[in-house]
Structures are given as structure tokens and as C-alpha cells.
């Protein structure tokens, strides 16, 4: 029996489709980090990699240098071009069954800029603290190039990422780039006069564990269980996913059942008839750590009365809000609108017409923060209710709040593997795809999110640095970092402090080979965890690179504690980087002394040459000294280069945070 014409046509279509699929997959494909305007690191081998059909020959040519490779059984290939001196522009041509040409490629210095929100903060976001309008107007600098990695997470290492491609620095593109990264790169370019490529791979509000690979974290038994769970999740293990989803639903129910906002009988805190006379005022949007709830992690309720005009009554509305850190459940007139779990994502909920009435309406939010800063935050213009005509009622401003349970009284919560603070997920999504791109070094601004686990940071920070170095396999490349800026209220008396402990962990990381630290202890903001003076931060990082890597031997660090010696009722402190010690102001401030009782009291201090002598008349036998040991210390010791002394302590007494290696 002859096949019908329709069957023959269908067969031909199927064959053509298969051939097209094979042809598409046979073509050379390149990762997103390769684009026009890119910069390669000078004077090192230049890796170029991608995919094509298995067994294909791939030709890679940059300028006059050319190399050929054969793809492996999976179609993967990697070529290495011999080193170039700084210069350009060049064309990079990759040829297989198809050809890709990247234009305006430069050779110079390439740096990864990584960390959390203070590295992510863009030039356009820093206001005019740094004469920003003029900086932007002067930013036509074609030898500086940017690549910004889109924030994302992944449960397993990825081969590619997303981004806008490499951009040439000008008055428009500079606005969207990391401010710290830009000022760092600009300083390098001003001094070196060679191309500078900056790769911004940062994600706000994130823990260092998220930036570290599973291979490194598994060397610490503390992470064994979570790493196994991440592995099963990434493999879509059916039994694991069923149990995981069940536990997540159980947690949601139990966390509400234990909250005082949900009494076993009577009016709940979401209801319109609730008496709120005992509630306090709070500003939205603003992290609660910047208001009355410093260092609180747990559940906080927010409420606000909204006046709805009669013309909106009985119509569907949309509630728009900025990000909520971390988890919210939101109600309108006592009815749940929705919930979200990602701390950095804006919320949008539909308000059904049946709930909307003219006059007084109640908006209620239950916010749970699991660690680090928390609250209802973002920009004021993100908070509004809108109708179908896009008319708006603003809901930013004064709200009422009441805190309930601290996080340690909550039932244990299953890890969210989409959460950017889940171990390994940022390394997998935002660092692994960059490897083995040629680079000169890394600058890093992170730690705010780890202040509650500062002793762990002593282990985790060096672990991450060595992790990245081992993955790139190009030796101990430079890794320079920012010591946390001053932030929050000033303590009237010496006290233990988690931010001080985190800064100490950063200071201790200088023991790792080829690292450098820029202190920001004097350029923070008491009420803003994102201080605006990013130019000074970038410049201080650049000073380290210029001195340690590029041979410009200017001072690059403020005074760093070396040793102490008790001399009667005083203590003599010696420093590195102590040339020209000076006080900024009339009196040396920030020192505290303790005796055998381990109770610190404010101390007097004076400079003697390159030393500082410290004493307290109330303590005849001092045994320990601390300097700038607070979240927001009042301190003013500098060296001749105008760089601030790093906070330190001479004791090793028990502190607030615990080390997981001892748990």
C-alpha cells in the first residue's frame, strides 16, 4: 500500500525539523561573558571557550594570533591564546560551522567586583556625596569597560549566566555600574593609562556561604546536611521534593500558630477591629534596623489605614510594594492577598473588588526576618495602590508596628533553595560561569549579612578566597576587600558588638597570601547601611592594588595593630603602617581599657612617635585594650596618608558570636 501524500509531507517536515535542530546545535555558541567591547587580562594566557558539535574543529583568532582546537564528545571546547601586552582594539573571531566576530576587544587589567549590596550599589544611587553629577559628566572614558552579571541563583554550577554584555564607559552606562567598582577602575586607569575591564558579580543582602562552592563547604561538617539536600534538590529527586514541600507547608502553618498575632480565639492582628493603641510608629519604606529594632530578627507586624475614594469602591485594585526582607504575608481588610519569600523582590498583589469599600480600609503585613537587616524597604514610590486608570494612592510614610517572636522562638524552617542566602547558590550561578575568564584580581565588599556569625567568618572568608583561586587555577591572584563601614547608633559605653567581631574576622584574613584590606570605619552612615561615599572606598581599594601589584609605592593602608606591652598603669600599642600617626580632631578617641575583671572603660590615649600609649585612671593594672570596638565607633587615629586605623582588640576573650566549628 502506497503512503499517502499527507504522510510523505509529514515525514519530510519531521526530517527537515530534525536537520534544523542538528544544524542549530552544531553551531558555535559562546557564553554571555564574551561580547563586543570586552577586555582580556594582559600578559597572561587568554582562555576562550564555548560549545559546538562534537568533533568539530574550532579556530580562534585575536588580532594576528590564532589557535585551533577540537570539541570533545559533549561539544565543549576551550582554547588558550598566548599573552598580549596592553592595547587594542582587536577583533576576536571564532569559527566552526559558523563564525562569530567580537569587535572592539581590548587588552588590559580585568577585575571582578563582588559582594553584597554595597558593591552592587550603582553610581546613580550614591547621590551627590561624591560630586556625583560632575563624575558622571566626566565619565566618557572609552578604555574603561563594564560587565554586570544579573543576580540569580542555582542549585548546581552553571555554564552560563545573564548580563547586558560588555559596555564602554560613558555618561549613560556609568550610571548603572557598581559605584565602588567604577571608582576603583577609574583610579587604576588614571594611574596606569591602560584599558580596565570590570566585572560586577554582586547580590545584595547575601551571606558568604552562598558565594562558596560545595567542594569547599563540604570540608566543614556543619554544612554536610544542607549540601546533601541541595544536591537532591538539583537532581529533582522525587522523594526528597515531596518531603521538602510537605515541611515547607508545615512551617508556614506552625509559624502562624505560634505567633501572638494569631490568638486561639478573638480578634487577630490582621483584623480591621483590632485595638492598636499600644502599637508604635514606624516609617515605610525603611529597614527596621535603621529605626527602633536594631539587630532584631523575627516577626514584626505592620498596619496602616488607607482611605479609599467612593469612586474606587467595589473595583479590583492592585497593591504595589517594594522588597520585604525576608518573608511577608499581606492582608487587606482582614483577607489575605498573598505572600512572598525573597527579601530583595518587590511585591504586587491584587485586591479583589469584594474587599474594596469607600473610606477606611486596613492594610496589614506580617514580616519575618530570618537574619541580617529586616523590614519593609525600598523606595517610597514603589508603595502605592492603583486602579484600572492607573490612578494611585501612596501608602509609603508613617505606619504602625508591633514585634512578636524573635527568630530563635520560631519552629525550624526548611531551607529555600531559591533564596540567595542558601549555601553555594551564588557561586553556582554568578561565579562558576565566569571561570576561567582571564583576570588580574578581585575586589570584595561583603560581610554585613554575616555579622551574626562573625566567628564563622574567620573560617569562611579565607575558605572562599582559596576556593575561587583553586577554581581559576592561576595561582594566588590578588584579593582585596573592604572592612565594614561604621553604622547604627553610637554606644555611650564600651560594649560587645557583632559588627566589631566581623571587622576583626576581616582583619584576620590579611594572613591569607596576597590579600589587602581597605578600612571604611570613618566613611559610613549611622542611619544607612548603604553609605554613599563610594568614591573613597574605591580609591582606597585602588591604593592597595597600585602599591602591591603595580609598583606605585605610596602608603595603601591605615595603621594596623601589631603588638602591645603593659607599662605600669598604661599600655603601649605598636602598629604597622604607622608613619606619621595623627589625630583627626583635638583628642584621641575610641580606646577602651580593661583590667582582670574584663570590664572595659573609656581610656585616654596619646601618640608617641609611631606608637600609641593608652591608660585609664580607674584601672591601675590594665590587661587589655580595644579600639573602635563598636558598630559605629567614635574614633580618629590616622596615619600621614590620611588613612584610618583599623579597629582591633588585644584580648581573645569570649565574644557574642559563636564559631560553628565548636558547636
Of the three residues 556, 584, 618, the one that is the final residue of a domain is: 556
| Angle made by CA atoms 380, 333, 267, in degrees to the nearest 5 | 120
pLDDT, residue 569, reads 97
Is 520 within a domain? yes
Residue located via cell numbers 572592612: 483
Domain check: are 574 and 543 in the same one? no
Please report which confidence band the pLDDT of residue 129 belongs to, taking 50, 70 and 90 as the band edges. Answer: confident
CATH number at residue 331: 2.60.120.260
Is 343 within a domain? yes
pLDDT, residue 18, reads 47
Burial environment of residue 436 by CB neighbours within 10 A (0 to 12, 13 to 18, 19 or more): middle
Average pLDDT, the chain: 93
Residue 165 CB: number of other CB atoms within 10 A?
Answer: 15
User: Residue 590 pLDDT more than 60?
Assistant: yes
Q: Which of 247, 212, 241 is nearest to 229 (CA)?
A: 241
Secondary element (H or E) of residue 625: strand 624-627
**β-sheet bridge partners, residue 198:** 111, 146
pLDDT tens-digit map of 516-527: 999 999 999 998
Domain check: are 447 and 534 in the same one? yes
pLDDT tens-digit map of 174-193: 999 999 999 999 999 999 99
Is 146 within a domain? yes
Domain that holds residue 184: 110-213+424-556
Domain check: are 504 and 467 in the same one? yes
Least confident range from 45-54, 253-262, 303-312, 459-468: namely 253-262
Domain check: are 385 and 309 in the same one? yes
Q: Are strands 441-445 and 99-115 parallel, antiparallel or unpaired?
A: parallel
Domain check: are 471 and 358 in the same one? no
DSSP 416: P
Domain check: are 444 and 390 in the same one? no
Residue located via cell numbers 480578634: 267
Region of residue 610 (phi > 0: left; psi between -120 and 50: alpha; otherwise: beta): alpha
Domain check: are 352 and 463 in the same one? no
Burial environment of residue 70 by CB neighbours within 10 A (0 to 12, 13 to 18, 19 or more): exposed
pLDDT, residue 12, reads 53
Domain check: are 552 and 639 in the same one? no
Q: Which of 630, 635, 628, 578 is nearest to 607 (CA)?
A: 578
Domain check: are 287 and 366 in the same one? yes
Domain check: are 595 and 624 in the same one? yes
Is 45 within a domain? no
Is 330 within a domain? yes
pTM to 2 decimal places: 0.87
Record the cell numbers describing residue 486, joined without a space: 561604621
User: Residue 88 pLDDT more than 80?
Assistant: yes
Of the three residues 409, 432, 455, the one that is the final residue of a domain is: 409
Strand, helix or coil for residue 623:
coil
> Considering its fold, how many domains does the chain have in total?
3
Of the three residues 374, 409, 444, the one that is the final residue of a domain is: 409
CA distance 632 to 497: 10
pLDDT, residue 283, reads 95
Is 220 within a domain? no
Is 456 within a domain? yes
CA distance 149 to 238: 32
CATH number at residue 453: 3.40.50.1110
Please report which confidence band the pLDDT of residue 110 belongs to, taking 50, 70 and 90 as the band edges. Answer: very high
String of DSSP letters for 98-109: SEEEEEEEEEEE
User: Residue 372 pLDDT more than 90?
Assistant: no
Domain check: are 476 and 541 in the same one? yes
Is 44 within a domain? no
Domain check: are 443 and 396 in the same one? no
Residue 648 CB: number of other CB atoms within 10 A?
Answer: 21
Burial environment of residue 403 by CB neighbours within 10 A (0 to 12, 13 to 18, 19 or more): middle
pLDDT tens-digit map of 459-506: 999 999 999 999 999 999 999 999 999 998 899 999 999 999 999 999
Amino acid at each position: 500500500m502506497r503512503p499517502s501524500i499527507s504522510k510523505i509531507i509529514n515525514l519530510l517536515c519531521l526530517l527537515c525539523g530534525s536537520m534544523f535542530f542538528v544544524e542549530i546545535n552544531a553551531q558555535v555558541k559562546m557564553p554571555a561573558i564574551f561580547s563586543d567591547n570586552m577586555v582580556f587580562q594582559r600578559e597572561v594566557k587568554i582562555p576562550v571557550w564555548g560549545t559546538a558539535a562534537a568533533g568539530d574543529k574550532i579556530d580562534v583568532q585575536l588580532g594576528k594570533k590564532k589557535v585551533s582546537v577540537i570539541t570533545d564528545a559533549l561539544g565543549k571546547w576551550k582554547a588558550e591564546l598566548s599573552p598580549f601586552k596592553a592595547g587594542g582594539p582587536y577583533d576576536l573571531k571564532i569559527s566552526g560551522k559558523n563564525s562569530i566576530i567580537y569587535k572592539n576587544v581590548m587588552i588590559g587589567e580585568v577585575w571582578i567586583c563582588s559582594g553584597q549590596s554595597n558593591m552592587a550599589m550603582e553610581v546613580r544611587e550614591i547621590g551627590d556625596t561624591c560630586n556625583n553629577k560632575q563624575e558622571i559628566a566626566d565619565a566618557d572614558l572609552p578604555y574603561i569597560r563594564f560587565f554586570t552579571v544579573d543576580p540569580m541563583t542555582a542549585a548546581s554550577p552553571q555554564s552560563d549566566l545573564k548580563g547586558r554584555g560588555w559596555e564602554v564607559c560613558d555618561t549613560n552606562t556609568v550610571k548603572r555600574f557598581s559605584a565602588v567598582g567604577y571608582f576603583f577602575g577609574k583610579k587604576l586607569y588614571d594611574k596606569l593609562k591602560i584599558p580596565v575591564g570590570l566585572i560586577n558579580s554582586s547580590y545584595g543582602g547575601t551571606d558568604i556561604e552562598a558565594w562558596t562552592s560545595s567542594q569547599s563547604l563540604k570540608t566543614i561538617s556543619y554544612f554536610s546536611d544542607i549540601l546533601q539536600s541541595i544536591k537532591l534538590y538539583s537532581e529533582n529527586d522525587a522523594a526528597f521534593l515531596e518531603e521538602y514541600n510537605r515541611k515547607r507547608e508545615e512551617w508556614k502553618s506552625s509559624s502562624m500558630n505560634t505567633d501572638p498575632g494569631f490568638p486561639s480565639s478573638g480578634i487577630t492582628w490582621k483584623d480591621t477591629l483590632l485595638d492598636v493603641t499600644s502599637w508604635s510608629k514606624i516609617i515605610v519604606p525603611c529597614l527596621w534596623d535603621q529605626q527602633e529594632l536594631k539587630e532584631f530578627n523575627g516577626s514584626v507586624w505592620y498596619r496602616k489605614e488607607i482611605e479609599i475614594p467612593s469612586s474606587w469602591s467595589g473595583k479590583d485594585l492592585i497593591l504595589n510594594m517594594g522588597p520585604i526582607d525576608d518573608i511577608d504575608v499581606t492582608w487587606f481588610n482582614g483577607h489575605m492577598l498573598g505572600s512572598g519569600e525573597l527579601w530583595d523582590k518587590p511585591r504586587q498583589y491584587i485586591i479583589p473588588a469584594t474587599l474594596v469599600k469607600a473610606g477606611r480600609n486596613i492594610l496589614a503585613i506580617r514580616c519575618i526576618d530570618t537574619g541580617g537587616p529586616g523590614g519593609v524597604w525600598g523606595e517610597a514610590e514603589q508603595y502605592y495602590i492603583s486602579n484600572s486608570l492607573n490612578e494611585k494612592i501612596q501608602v509609603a510614610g508613617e505606619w504602625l508596628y508591633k514585634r512578636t517572636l524573635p527568630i530563635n522562638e520560631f519552629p525550624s524552617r526548611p531551607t529555600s533553595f531559591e533564596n540567595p542566602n542558601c549555601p553555594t547558590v551564588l557561586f553556582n550561578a554568578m561565579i562558576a560561569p565566569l571561570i576561567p575568564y582571564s583576570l588580574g584580581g578581585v575586589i570584595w565588599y561583603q560581610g554585613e549579612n554575616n555579622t551574626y556569625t562573625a566567628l564563622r567568618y574567620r573560617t569562611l572568608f579565607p575558605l572562599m578566597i582559596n576556593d575561587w583561586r583553586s577554581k581559576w587555577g592561576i595561582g594566588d591572584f590578588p584579593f582585596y576587600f573592604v572592612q565594614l563601614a561604621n553604622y547604627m547608633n553610637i554606644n555611650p559605653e564600651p560594649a560587645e558588638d557583632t559588627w566589631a567581631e566581623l571587622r576583626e574576622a576581616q582583619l584576620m584574613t590579611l594572613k591569607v597570601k596576597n590579600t589587602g584590606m581597605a578600612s571604611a570605619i570613618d566613611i559610613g552612615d549611622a542611619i544607612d547601611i548603604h553609605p554613599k561615599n563610594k568614591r573613597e572606598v574605591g580609591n582606597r581599594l585602588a591604593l592597595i592594588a597600585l602599591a602591591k601589584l603595580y609598583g606605585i609605592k605610596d602608603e595603601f593602608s591605615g595603621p594596623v595593630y601589631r603588638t602591645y606591652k603593659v607599662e605600669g598603669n598604661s599600655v603601649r600599642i605598636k602598629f604597622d603602617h604607622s608613619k606619621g600617626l595623627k589625630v583627626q580632631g583635638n583628642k584621641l578617641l575610641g580606646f577602651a581599657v580593661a583590667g582582670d575583671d574584663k570590664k572595659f572603660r573609656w581610656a585616654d590615649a596619646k601618640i608617641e612617635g609611631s606608637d600609641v600609649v593608652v591608660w585609664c585612671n580607674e584601672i591601675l593594672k590594665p590587661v587589655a585594650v580595644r579600639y573602635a570596638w563598636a558598630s559605629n565607633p567614635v574614633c580618629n587615629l590616622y596615619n600621614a596618608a590620611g588613612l584610618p586605623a583599623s579597629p582591633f582588640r588585644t584580648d581573645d576573650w569570649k565574644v557574642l558570636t559563636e564559631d560553628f566549628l565548636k558547636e
